[in-house]
Structure 1
């Protein structure tokens, strides 16, 4: 996603981060300066090339990794997806320095955003956006292999006109090779760069059981995005997932999910709810001793703790547990 944002900014399209929307830039003398945006400098080589930006009026994008929210209703969405057999591996690799957790264990964790198992969360997260608004899907693999064609489609989707020469210049300035070089000079992790390859899962010695787990959970949406899948897969129950999201503090204020409609007599049989309960028990009993103390306040872990706590609070609030 960061790569796409770099190219858009190089083309004069303003990009705000989701967490600080409207507060990322300072305007002086008709230019935008990345005051708070500078914290993303390690992943934004475009900031190294430009002190200030002149952005096109009337168009902007807001980027981030977050679920649909009411404030985005009626807006278009560009959904950047990557083969989960690669992106989940990459995510786990980034966690290795901090967590004593195997890849297989990690796939069973609740994702800090959806509280669904990581092996399924990829599909749940992306399907929520597809159902929410008009969405243009960009596959990471296509962005790497045919960036000019992908960027032409993206610009057409957001109604921005640029010449082929402008697009080619921006793509070249923000090429993946240059981004990798910049991040290495900025102190990035070689493990992350290595895992950014396309179809790396085919070249790694990944156990078939791990691939089956991911494909069984998310294969139904992987196929829709054009990824080859060998393991049969069906979407989760719509009713079970809706109940789970209604209990989730990050989701239940969204118009689609209402805690008032939860059937209490069958709720405790919901596999999503039971999975969260099982993880919380293990989290309390065993997890603390398996993490590095220096990551107690890392965003992912702090968000997971907060969302699990809120999930339990909602369950108590409606009488599911005491």
Structure 2
């Protein structure tokens, strides 16, 4: 629905549109949004749909729904609510996976060290409800951003989100922006972004936009909103780099799963490290991995399901139930099949065209990651959720010995 609204918005218009995506945690993306607005670049949060902007002669006005929420995040909205944007440019932003359906638009993937991003989100929204160790194990379906996905806890969600967009970089231009650089070299970072988006601004304009988007101004905006609403919403808490070194115990760090850890310091270890991760999880041959993980009879059936799915034929309840009626199937094999079905579910819920090359590549990545991290408890729990979704009884598999 969100993507269709965007497409309808641009029907018949000669508008250059771009997109910003970030994992659904406190990654600091509002800083970039504020900078772009300061530079008179129309920047739209798709969550508000048609209730984001309206028009009055040559002015663009922010609508009340968007204003009331975004004033918590964007200091510019405390100075102005009407804009004169540069014509024919619009940047969409949200924590979305289905932005991939907009076509091969230039995309900025804005990330932060997940240890900081996740802790900051915990302090903002969850601290009154859970202890931190409980929050780190809490599975979520992200109803506001990518409904039904991934049914994983925070670190695992972060990894799957980032690796999805890294997979999409094989088909469309995706530039990764690290929160750390917005603190260390903010002006240079903005200039790189503008160059990537093919937008011209002077150094003086960029410096002024960065100054107006400072953490101090963001915190001031938050404080003003807290006074006005009598509510607490920690949108500008500390904004530090490497705060995790003071906020995580050794026990908490050791408890993070292997799949959760692989996006730690994603950019810190250099291009060779990123290339290795891409080769391991994105360019992996998922069909070979499946063949190594499943008995021959089961593998043959699963591959046929994959082939039919990738040709656009939906999986049926009958074939899934038939698959789980194979005799002597062990718990491990039952969960592996569920991990493959879960990857299919992800693709089906992200892509409008599941036969596309992009959908095939995403499916390959999701299957490779699920099966390589099959011993991680959250991946197993997502597989169990998948079995429940298909109304597969779990009892037969968890009550018997490992027979194959």
TM-score range, shorter chain: 0.7 to 0.9
Residue 156 of structure 1: aligned partner: 195
* Residues 83, 223 of structure 1: alpha-carbon distance in 2 compared, 3 angstrom cutoff: closer
Residue 163 of structure 2: aligned partner: 127
| C-alpha deviation, 1:121, in angstroms | 1.4
Q: Deviations over 1:221-266 (max 9, x none)?
A: 334321699xxx98598857664232247437562279xx9x9xxx
Residue 258 of structure 2: aligned partner: 216
Q: Report the Cα distance in structure 2 between the residues aligned to 1:235 and 1:104, rounded to whole angstroms.
A: 28
* Residues 108, 238 of structure 1: alpha-carbon distance in 2 compared, 3 angstrom cutoff: farther
25-34 or 237-246: bigger deviation? 237-246
Residue 307 of structure 2: aligned partner: none
Partner SS state of residue 2, structure 1? helix
Contact 2:215 2:236 in 1 (8 A): no
| C-alpha deviation, 1:321, in angstroms | 7.4
Residue 182 of structure 1: aligned partner: 221
| C-alpha deviation, 1:92, in angstroms | 1.9
Residue 243 of structure 2: aligned partner: 200
Based on CA coordinates, which of the two structures has the bigger radius of gyration?
A: 2
| C-alpha deviation, 1:98, in angstroms | 4.6
* Residues 224, 197 of structure 1: alpha-carbon distance in 2 compared, 3 angstrom cutoff: closer
Q: Report the Cα distance in structure 2 between the residues aligned to 1:216 and 1:227, rounded to whole angstroms.
A: 17
Contact 2:98 2:351 in 1 (8 A): no
TM-score if structure 2 supplies the norm length?
A: 0.60
Residue 65 of structure 1: aligned partner: 95
Residue 105 of structure 1: aligned partner: 134
Segments of structure 1 that go 5 or more residues without pairing to the other structure are 281-310
- The match for 2:73 among 39, 43, 62 is 43
Does 2:345 match 1:251? Answer: no
* Residues 88, 235 of structure 1: alpha-carbon distance in 2 compared, 3 angstrom cutoff: farther
| C-alpha deviation, 1:106, in angstroms | 2.0
TM-score if structure 1 supplies the norm length?
A: 0.73
Contact 1:243 1:257 in 2 (8 A): no
63-72 or 183-192: bigger deviation? 183-192
Does 2:50 match 1:7? Answer: no
| C-alpha deviation, 1:93, in angstroms | 1.9
Q: Report the Cα distance in structure 2 between the residues aligned to 1:161 and 1:242, rounded to whole angstroms.
A: 46
Partner SS state of residue 47, structure 2? coil
* Residues 222, 112 of structure 1: alpha-carbon distance in 2 compared, 3 angstrom cutoff: same
Q: Deviations over 1:144-200 (max 9, x none)?
A: 222101100010111100000110111111111111111112117486544532111
* Residues 224, 276 of structure 1: alpha-carbon distance in 2 compared, 3 angstrom cutoff: closer
Q: Deviations over 1:66-125 (max 9, x none)?
A: 2144432211111111111111111222333552x3322222222334222322211110
Residue 28 of structure 1: aligned partner: 56
155-164 or 37-46: bigger deviation? 37-46
Does 2:382 match 1:276? Answer: yes
* Residues 242, 20 of structure 1: alpha-carbon distance in 2 compared, 3 angstrom cutoff: farther
Partner SS state of residue 79, structure 1? strand
Segments of structure 2 that go 5 or more residues without pairing to the other structure are 1-28, 143-149, 287-335, 396-404
Residue 77 of structure 1: aligned partner: 107
| C-alpha deviation, 1:32, in angstroms | 0.4
Q: Report the Cα distance in structure 2 between the residues aligned to 1:182 and 1:254, rounded to whole angstroms.
A: 42
* Residues 94, 242 of structure 1: alpha-carbon distance in 2 compared, 3 angstrom cutoff: farther
How many residues are matched? 279
* Residues 109, 167 of structure 1: alpha-carbon distance in 2 compared, 3 angstrom cutoff: same
Q: Report the Cα distance in structure 2 between the residues aligned to 1:9 and 1:127, rounded to whole angstroms.
A: 29
Q: Deviations over 1:48-72 (max 9, x none)?
A: 2223111112211101112144432
